[in-house]
Amino acid sequence: MSTSTPKTIRWGILATGLIAQTFTKDLLVDPKTRNVHSVVHTVGAAASSSSKSRAEQFLKDVGAASSAKAYGSYEELVKDPEIDIIYVATPHSHHYQNVMQCLEAGKNVLCEKAFTVNAAQLKILVKKAKEKNLFLMEAVWTRYFPISAYVRDLVTSGRLGKVTRVFADFSMSMDPETSFADNKHRMVNVNLAGGALLDLGIYSITWCFQTLYLTQPKETREPPKVMAAMNHFRTGADEQTTILLNFPRSKEMGGNAHAIATTAIVVSGDPDEKGTAGPGARIQGDKGEVQIGGPICRPTTSRLILQDGTVEEKDWPQPGPGKGSGWTNGFGGGLNSEGEGHGMFWEADEAAMALVEGRKEGKYEDLEESVVIMEVMDEVRRQGGFKYPEKLESTEYPLKLD
């Protein structure tokens, strides 16, 4: 495709919460600011399940074009013939129902992580997407960052030697006893599939998988063996979870690789939020290691340390409209520097380019890997004695959730 004629991808935004706002503001940043020339994004419509007026306000807040339509129901959105792909931004608890609704209506989907509540739900969504020849991808934005591509290349190029061990932590000290005293916040509310694992732990697992699983030949790679320990909040949701993954590998690749993934909402891996406590992830081979500065969901620094004395420190700032633009974005009340994107446009670019190229899944986390990761989280919850309410674990569709 000629770089002078980028393909316009028309997005529908399903739900209007904080993550949807951050994603959509990033989505509307000119892709040329990050050297992407084959696609451009536009918001065709947004839907709120509560009211049309909320969708209208959302579209104003994110700076969507005046032609963007506001809907007061998801059903109206999925039926809109002028939408190419839908971004699903509801809580994890509702992903299965919402994504199925989109697929049934013939819509391509980018779904927020965690993909579903369990692997059984995801397998049905994957089957449905394949039946209907639709694109389906989990919005694990971190996978599509330039820093992630750099780290994977360090692994596959052999610069680290044979990589056999990974440590990854994403933990935030949220003081849940006080902060979530009414038990209703999504982080601890089991009716919204709350807990550290599905919300934060997915990032720890992501760094383990993208360095030890994605980097293996697809035809021979195998799911890891899982050992896990879990502490529970009073609601039953996990407040601290530790996972040991044993990835089977050939002797040529260095033999089995180990990974430790940790997550918590009662303790922080970065107490002063300045990186003083050290890296959020370490990927280690017999020739050296690369360290990822936290938070590992949106890392901005890396440090390569090799046995030969090499030390390479890199900064990975997020692109955007730039200083002087008056434009800001962020998440959860925190704003990035003026003109600096949050980083969610990378996954949008990947989804858009897949549509242009005719691909039906993500390049750096295909549907098979997404299912394996959900199976790992299922096993972690099984070992931790953590089940969600029956309705949330159900594969029945349609099923009305509260």
Query: Tell me: the pLDDT tens digits for 351-397?
Result: 999 999 999 999 999 999 999 999 999 999 999 999 999 999 999 99
Q: Hey, what are 171's tokens?
A: 């933990």
Question: How far out from the chain centre does Cα 137 lie?
Answer: 10
Q: What is the pLDDT of residue 2?
A: 47
- Region of residue 255 (phi > 0: left; psi between -120 and 50: alpha; otherwise: beta): left
Q: What is the pLDDT of residue 333?
A: 80
Q: What is the pLDDT of residue 220?
A: 94
Q: CA distances (Å), 236 to each of 1, 36, 191, 261, in order? A: 51, 44, 11, 21
Q: What is the pLDDT of residue 40?
A: 98
CB atoms within 10 A of CB 57: 15
What is the average per-residue pLDDT within 218-239?
Answer: 98
The contacts of residue 339 (CB under 8 Å, 6+ apart) are: 320, 321, 322, 323, 324, 325, 327, 328
What is the SS3 assignment for 164?
strand
What is the average per-residue pLDDT within 5-14?
Answer: 97
What is the average per-residue pLDDT within 341-352?
Answer: 98
Query: Tell me: the pLDDT tens digits for 164-183?
Result: 999 999 999 999 999 999 99
Q: How far apart are CA 31 and CA 9, in angstroms?
A: 12
